């Protein structure tokens, strides 16, 4: 053995010694190294074996026909020798040279045979550019030129055959001045120049006639690099501009002025950009593929938006070190989401990343080092490379990422946040689910599933070499590879996901699970199935044990574990049950299919699966895998042991007493309510078969014998039609007519107009059959349509009822109680204005015109001459209004809303008193609202209290006008969407007024008295009075209502009257829009004593009024207003109580 080793060693020595250097090259080397004082560093007998270290000069040789020639030189010396072109080009095979710290003659770059040369720290630099570069140069690099320098470079000098030209100084210095001079003429002819990289370039010359693959300019600031000729770079493919500092921001809009037919495919700019005045449109750069702007400063935006319109063909986008709005940033990124690679890091984006949805838009995106907060939603699993490090994100990262944190280069993309599931060390993934399919026709192997990773090159296979396509894939979900050998011959493949540090065995064929053993737990709650050709997707399995499901909790290629859905007590532990395992899978053309495995198992011990040796299916049987014998299977396994047992010899079920059917599945249940004695019961399913005219699950419903017309419905609880409004009768064909308003005649008789609803003429000619009676007199019909009857009546006086009957249905009539009032042209006044001394009556209006000393509705009250106590008002949280004067109080309330039948009887009453809920109002500080909804009715009532802040506010009601003074309180009630039980019915709104006193020591104390003698429907207004303790509450009611925009008569009814209270009903017609207008006043009588023991014997007027208009708009609005006059009697409104409600 030793002699063989010696022989090999000798051969190696001989081969080294045989590197014979060409004699000319050796002679030239001797001379060159001597001139450069480098000869001592080399063995002159073996130049080609010189030591190859960076600190020394190096000579490399190459064999040409067994003769070695110098092919590469690295020379490093501080010799003062002036290196000339002939010192280098004498080496005929020399192609590369690296020269450090040398001095050069003016002709050094002329007629060189070198292909590539690198010159470091040349002396002097100007000598290298004093003549035209010529020869075979392809690459020239001049580096580490010492600053400061001033240098002109003519493009004509470097045009030649060069591919690249580089000039780098030792530093970027504002004192450096390198000028590029375009002396290639004419300017109309395009000239090819090499790729150029130049430091400290002073300015860009006009380069409209210059073509180059690359121009790289690296300057100290913009002030040392003029950019005036940017628009002449049309023939430059790659443009890179970098500024070391940012003393003067660049106007980036200059790039939009480059002519559209340009060749720029890469634009890389580093430096501060000035604030644009408008969006910069770069669509002129039609060939731009790579676009980068970095260190752009915080000013480069428009209201936080990226001020750029990008061309369509960009494939790489970088925008760094700016300041942009978060929402506007995602808008910009989504607009440009088709760009394959985006770097938008370090831009101070402050945004909720939870709202950033990827939806397969972004491929590679870096948004790290911003201020993003929130969570990362799973849509980002579709990105090939997501970098969000160093933000403020939190919550759990989707498992598509954390599954692959075994690779630090993936984990580093997410560090610097507050994610709860980034750990050290990171636990292994449990959610990765791989599946394989192979298409033999296309030779495509498809790997699909969940959390598969982001880099196809990180997916490895064992035993066979498979390279997954790194171009067309869906991250985390879908990868493909071309594989010419059918992997199905292997049955399965072992696939390693290197970034997850896990290996999975995955089936390459579509086989149902192969079960070899079943192990039940004790106590029985889980089953373990062992074997092969299962998969890792728990949700793809459906396991049925007998008739109950077993939920899969873990799954691998080698088996599954499932948990029984029913408790162990529902199983017979000694029973043998069948198990069906269904697996959802996809065919090679990705159609969903189900693979099924059927086995039998014991529930009290381990079962070993034994296949049957004969074909059980051909015998109409199944295989009992416990002993490998074919058996007859019962339908649905008799629905489980609690339903029945199976005879495996006959395949028939024996059901328990509670179930029926071949499979014992049907419960033997009684029918509901024993079919109500109106049908027969099917005990097998508990369903009733009803007799004729009976309905419902228990036959309790009764079908209507008549057809319910006019869209009415049948009430099956009684078998009677439930008619829609305006109709009645057994089949809902009889109209229910009603009156909304009346225009009466005078006491002399004449034409009367009655408005309302009177059916359609299609309803058996109803409109020609109406009979109208006013009081005891007939009103002869002269005209009629659906909404109006015109008739003529004889002379009369007073208030009358109107009865309308249709001769076709004489039992159906509308009785308008008190809806007609003969109009007397001569009006009477209340109480005849007391006396001629007090006032006189205006017989046109029915109002008293009081003499100077008197006031009041009947001129019975002396005007005030001395100070009287103030009257205060308050509204509590239940909506009640209280007027108080000294110790006397008056309460005014709306207490109920009644629906009245056509015969005058009460249909239903809705209590309103103290049922209000406060509604907060932030828009009007002078208004307070309450509301309530009527029980079992669609009606909603809104009650409003408003303070009048202007000096006075005027209102008009019909022919009456009144004014509310500053400081008044107006109360309004809105009644919306009242649902009548019959169209023949009307409404009555009930008011309640009462008096009381807080203490019993007032010398003015008197018993309460009420007066309703001035309730007179024949006057323009009716009046009521309540007197107590020398104070008087006066209520006035205008005897008219505006019904459906028409003025008509309205009557008032005293419902109850005692010594201290009056309950009054306002009778409203059946109308869609009604308006009424009563008001109240508080007076101090002439026997009031302002100080006990003294009597003024004067009657004082306290002008405080409660005004109550009522409006119905498919509903009713009631408005109550309280008036006072500040210059006489002040009302102290309890503002603290009102404002506390705001």
pLDDT tens, residue by residue, 187-214: 788 888 889 998 888 888 899 999 999 9
Considering only residues 943 and 504, tell me which one the structure prediction assigns the higher pLDDT: 504
For residue 478, what pLDDT is reported?
93
CATH architecture of 514-631: Sandwich (2.60)
Which two three-digit tokens encode residue 739? 């009156």
Average pLDDT over residues 1-28: 61
Is 350's pLDDT higher than 90?
yes
Question: Each residue of 692-730: pLDDT tens digit?
Answer: 888 888 898 888 888 898 888 898 888 899 888 888 888
Report the range of poorest mean pLDDT among 88-97, 457-466, 853-862, 1082-1091: 1082-1091
Q: How far apart are CA 1064 and CA 826, in angstroms?
A: 27
Minimum mean pLDDT range among 126-135, 574-583, 1014-1023: 1014-1023
pLDDT of residue 1088: 54
Residue 536 has a pLDDT of 94
The residue-averaged pLDDT of 430-449 equals 90
Sign of the torsion angle spanned by Cα atoms 641, 643, 644, 646: negative
Pick from 1011, 1013, 1005: which is nearest to 1061 by CA? Answer: 1011
Please answer whether residues 830 and 780 qualify as being in contact, where contact means their C-beta atoms are separated by less than 8 angstroms. no
First to last CA, the chain: 109
Mean pLDDT of 1106-1119: 37
Share of the chain above pLDDT 70, in %: 85
| CA nearest neighbour of 481 among 462, 454, 499, 460 | 460
CA-based radius of gyration for the chain: 53
Residue 360 has pLDDT above 70, yes or no: no
Average pLDDT over the chain reads 82
Q: Report whether pLDDT(1062) > 50.
A: yes
Q: What is the pLDDT of residue 31?
A: 93
From residue 47, give the alpha-carbon distance in Å to each of 50, 75, 344, 959.
6, 13, 54, 128
Mean pLDDT calculated for residue range 1057-1077: 78
Is the pLDDT reported for residue 685 higher than 50? yes
**From CA 294, how far away is CA 306, in angstroms rounded?**
13
Please, which residues bridge with residue 373 across strands? 352, 392
Task: State the DSSP code for 7.
Answer: H
Q: Can you give the pLDDT at residue 467?
A: 92
Q: Where are the domains of the chain?
A: 433-507, 514-631, 672-701, 736-821, 869-1004+1036-1081+1104-1139
CATH code for the part of the protein at 736-821: 2.60.40.10
Give the model's pLDDT for residue 560. Answer: 96
CB 812 within 8 A of CB 805: yes
672-701 in CATH: which number? 2.10.25
pLDDT at 310 over 90: yes
Question: pLDDT: is 625 or 633 the higher one?
Answer: 625
CA-based angle 1013:1057:871, to the nearest 5? 85
Mean pLDDT of 548-553: 92
User: Given this chain, do its domains 514-631 and 736-821 carry the same CATH topology?
Assistant: yes
Q: What is the pLDDT of residue 1052?
A: 80
pLDDT at 1116 over 50: no
pLDDT at 1136: 31
Whether residue 148 is preceded by a cis peptide bond, meaning omega within 30 degrees of 0, is: yes
pTM over 0.75: no
Decide if 483 contacts 443 (C-beta within 8 A): yes
Report whether pLDDT(415) > 80: yes
In which band, very low, low, confident or very high, does the pLDDT at 1098 lie, cut at 50, 70 and 90? very low
pLDDT, one tens digit per residue, over 970-1006 is 777 788 888 787 777 788 888 788 877 755 555 666 7
* 208-212, 608-612, 735-739: least confidently modelled range: 735-739
The Cα 311–Cα 309 span in angstroms is: 7
| φ, ψ for residue 165, nearest 5 deg | -135, 125
- Please, which pLDDT band fits residue 765 given cuts at 50, 70 and 90? low
Q: How many other CB atoms are found less than 10 A from the CB of residue 1041?
A: 27
Look up residue 646 and give its two tokens: 């199976």
């Amino acid at each position: 053995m030793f002699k063989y080793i010696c022989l090999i060693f000798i051969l190696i020595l001989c081969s080294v010694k045989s590197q014979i250097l060409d004699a000319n090259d050796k002679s030239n080397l001797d001379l060159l190294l001597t001139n450069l004082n480098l000869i001592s560093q080399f063995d002159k007998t073996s130049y080609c074996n010189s030591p190859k270290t960076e600190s020394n000069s190096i000579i490399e040789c190459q064999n040409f026909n067994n003769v070695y020639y110098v092919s590469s030189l690295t020379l490093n010396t501080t010799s003062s020798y002036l290196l000339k072109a002939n010192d280098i080009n004498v080496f005929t095979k020399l192609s590369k040279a690296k020269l450090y710290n040398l001095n050069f003659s003016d002709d050094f770059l002329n007629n060189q045979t070198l292909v590539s040369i690198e010159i470091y720290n040349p002396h002097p630099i100007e000598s290298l550019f004093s003549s035209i570069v010529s020869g075979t140069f392809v690459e020239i690099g001049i580096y580490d030129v010492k600053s400061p320098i001033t240098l002109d470079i003519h493009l004509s000098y470097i045009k030649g055959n060069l591919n690249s030209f580089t000039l780098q100084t030792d530093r970027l210095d504002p004192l450096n001045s390198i000028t590029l001079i375009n002396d290639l003429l004419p300017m109309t002819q395009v000239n090819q120049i090499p790729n150029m990289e130049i430091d400290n370039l002073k300015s860009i010359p006009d380069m409209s006639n210059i073509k180059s693959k690359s121009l790289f300019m690296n300057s100290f600031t913009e002030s040392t690099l003029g950019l005036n000729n940017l628009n002449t770079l049309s023939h430059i493919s790659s443009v890179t501009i970098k500024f070391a500092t940012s003393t003067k921001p660049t106007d980036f809009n200059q790039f939009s002025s480059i002519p559209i037919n340009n060749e720029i495919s890469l634009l890389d700019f580093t430096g501060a950009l000035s604030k644009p005045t408008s969006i910069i449109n770069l669509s002129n750069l039609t060939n731009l593929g790579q676009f980068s702007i970095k260190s752009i400063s915080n000013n480069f935006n428009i209201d936080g938006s990226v001020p750029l319109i990008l061309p369509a063909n960009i494939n790489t986008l970088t925008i760094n070190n700016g300041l942009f709005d978060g929402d506007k940033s995602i808008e910009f990124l989504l607009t440009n989401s088709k760009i394959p690679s985006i770097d938008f890091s370090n831009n101070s984006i402050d945004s909720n990343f939870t709202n950033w949805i990827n939806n397969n838009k972004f491929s590679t995106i870096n948004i790290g080092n911003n201020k993003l907060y929130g969570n990362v939603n799973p849509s980002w699993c579709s990105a090939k490379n997501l970098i969000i490090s160093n933000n403020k994100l939190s919550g759990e990262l989707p498992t598509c990422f954390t599954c692959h944190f075994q690779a630090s280069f993936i984990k580093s993309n997410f560090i610097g946040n507050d994610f709860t599931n980034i750990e050290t060390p990171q636990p292994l993934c449990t959610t990765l689910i791989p599946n394989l399919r192979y298409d033999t026709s296309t030779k495509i192997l498809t790997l699909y599933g969940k959390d598969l990773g982001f880099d196809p090159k990180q997916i490895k296979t064992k035993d066979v070499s498979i390279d997954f396509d790194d171009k067309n894939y869906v991250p985390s979900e879908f990868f493909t590879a071309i594989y010419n050998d059918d992997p199905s011959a292997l049955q399965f493949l072992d696939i390693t996901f290197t970034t997850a540090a896990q290996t999975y065995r995955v089936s390459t064929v579509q086989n149902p699970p192969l079960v070899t053993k079943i192990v039940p737990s004790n106590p029985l709650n889980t089953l373990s199935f062992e074997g092969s050709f299962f998969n890792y997707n728990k949700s793809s399995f459906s396991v049925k044990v007998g008739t109950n499901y077993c939920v899969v909790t873990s799954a691998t290629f080698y088996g599954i574990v499932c948990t029984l859905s029913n408790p162990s007590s529902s199983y017979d532990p000694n029973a043998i049950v069948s198990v069906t395992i269904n697996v959802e899978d996809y065919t090679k053309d990705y159609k969903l299919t189900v693979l099924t495995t059927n086995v039998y198992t014991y529930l009290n011990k381990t079962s070993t699966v034994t296949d049957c040796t004969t074909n059980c299916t051909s015998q109409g049987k199944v295989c009992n895998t416990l002993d490998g014998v074919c058996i007859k299977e019962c339908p649905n396994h008799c629905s489980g042991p609690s339903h029945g047992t199976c005879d495996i010899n006959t395949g028939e079920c024996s059901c328990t007493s509670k179930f029926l059917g071949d499979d014992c599945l049907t419960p033997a249940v009684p029918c509901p309510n024993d079919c109500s004695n109106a049908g027969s019961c099917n005990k097998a399913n508990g369903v009733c078969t009803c007799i004729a005219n009976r309905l419902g699950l228990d036959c309790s419903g009764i079908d209507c014998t008549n057809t319910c017309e006019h869209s009415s419905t049948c009430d099956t609880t009684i078998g009677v039609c439930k008619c829609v409004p305006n109709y009645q009768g057994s089949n809902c064909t009889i109209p229910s007519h009603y009156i909304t308003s009346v225009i009466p005649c005078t006491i002399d008789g004449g034409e009367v107009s009655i408005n309302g609803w009177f059916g359609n003429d299609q309803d058996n000619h109803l409109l020609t059959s109406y009979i109208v009676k006013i009081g005891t007199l007939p009103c002869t019909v002269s005209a009629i349509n659906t909404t109006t009857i015109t008739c003529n009546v004889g002379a009369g006086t007073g208030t009358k009822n109107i009865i309308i009957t249709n001769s076709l249905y004489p039992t159906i009539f509308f009785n308008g109680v008190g809806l007609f009032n003969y109009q007397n042209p001569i009006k009477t006044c209340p109480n005849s204005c007391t006396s001629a001394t007090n006032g006189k009556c205006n017989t046109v209006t029915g109002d008293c015109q009081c003499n100077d000393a008197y006031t009041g509705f009947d001129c019975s009250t002396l005007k005030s001459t001395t100070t009287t106590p103030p009257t205060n008002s308050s509204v509590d949280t239940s909506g009640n209004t209280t007027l108080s004067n000294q110790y006397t109080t008056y309460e005014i309330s709306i207490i109920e809303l009644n629906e009245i039948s056509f015969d005058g009887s009460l249909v239903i009453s809705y209590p309103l008193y103290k049922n209000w809920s406060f509604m907060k109002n932030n828009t009007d500080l002078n208004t307070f609202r309450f509301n309530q909804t009527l029980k079992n009715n669609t009606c909603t009532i809104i009650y409003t209290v408003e303070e009048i802040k202007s000096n006075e506010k005027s209102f008009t009601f019909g022919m009456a006008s009144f004014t509310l003074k500053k400081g008044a309180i107006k109360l309004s009630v809105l009644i919306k969407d009242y649902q009548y039980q019959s169209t023949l019915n009307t409404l009555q709104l009930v008011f309640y007024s009462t008096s009381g006193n807080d203490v019993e020591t007032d010398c003015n104390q008197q018993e309460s008295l009420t007066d309703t003698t001035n309730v007179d429907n024949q006057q323009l207004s009716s009046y009521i009075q309540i007197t107590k303790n020398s104070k008087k509450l006066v209520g006035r009611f205008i005897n008219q209502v505006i019904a459906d925009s028409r003025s008509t008569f309205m009557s008032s009814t005293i419902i109850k009257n005692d010594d201290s209270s009056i309950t009054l009903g306002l009778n409203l017609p059946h109308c869609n829009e009604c308006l009424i207008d009563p008001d109240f006043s508080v007076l101090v009588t002439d026997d009031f004593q302002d100080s006990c023991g003294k009597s003024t014997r004067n009657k004082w007027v306290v002008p405080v009024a409660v005004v109550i208009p009522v409006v119905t708009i498919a509903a009713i609005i009631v408005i109550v207003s309280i008036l006072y006059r500040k210059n006489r009697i002040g009302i102290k409104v309890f503002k603290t109580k009102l404002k506390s409600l705001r």
